[in-house]
Amino acid sequence: MSYAVARDSFVSTVQWIGSALGAGFVDGGVHPRFGTRNFILPLSGGTYVEVVTTLDHPAADRAPFGQAVARRAAEGGGWLGWVVSVDDIAPVEARLGRTSAEGHRVRPDGFDLRWKQIGLLELLEDPQLPYFLQWLVPIEERPSADPRTSTTIHGVSIAGDAASIAEFLGEPADHPLDQIEVTWVEDEEPGLVSVEFATAHGPVTI
């Protein structure tokens, strides 16, 4: 799950969400090709939350991811969207009719984290849609490895059309995500409205 904020709200948002979920975030580093940087919180269940902001860098204006982060931040910040990890991004490339973009960031420990991603153009047009990511590093090096808390993602509320998302994912409309409850809600704008987390101290909705 990706939460986007303006640069002046970055640190306070990281602290707020970390406090709510019962664990501190770790510095993820800079995405030089996208003009962004993030902090991440690995959760139980092979998922993680990132808080991301733009850099004062030309790539933030050029790259679709940087554009998406900047737009959400300009709207006051909030959930940017949700990301689906796939083992092979080629079928998604074939379905969308273009190749994925490669991304990387060098972690503070010096490790070069690399991946491919696709779907940001669709997210810019229709914020209810997820984007897709294929990691190009071993599983033990991925952001979801080594969870810092027992907190898990219990469910998400999405304003949008179930059939459109199901078609985009290639999954059944009545349950597009395994192990995570999806609630469809009405809102003025489509997109990821809220995420419910199961924490050691009970449910927390952000």
pLDDT score of 194: 96
Q: Residue 81 to residues 49, 51, 113: CA-CA distances in angstroms?
A: 11, 11, 21
Pairing of strands 131-135, 112-118: antiparallel
pLDDT of 113 > 90? The answer is yes
For the stretch 182-196, pLDDT in tens is: 888 888 788 999 999
Confidence of residue 174 (pLDDT cuts 50, 70, 90): low
Instruction: Classify 77 in phi/psi space as left (phi over 0), alpha (psi -120 to 50) or beta.
Output: left
Residues near 181 by beta carbon (within 8 Å), at least 6 away in sequence: 154, 155, 156, 196
Confidence of residue 42 (pLDDT cuts 50, 70, 90): very high
Confidence of residue 177 (pLDDT cuts 50, 70, 90): low
For the stretch 120-155, pLDDT in tens is: 889 889 998 989 999 999 999 999 988 989 999 999
**Burial class (CB within 10 angstroms; exposed 0-12, middle 13-18, buried 19+) of 189:** exposed
The answer to whether the CB of 54 falls within 8 A of the CB of 7 is: yes
pLDDT of 176 > 60? The answer is no
pLDDT score of 188: 79
For the stretch 62-84, pLDDT in tens is: 988 999 999 999 999 999 999 99
Q: Say what the alpha-carbon torsion angle 58, 50, 157, 202 is, to the nearest 10 degrees.
A: -160
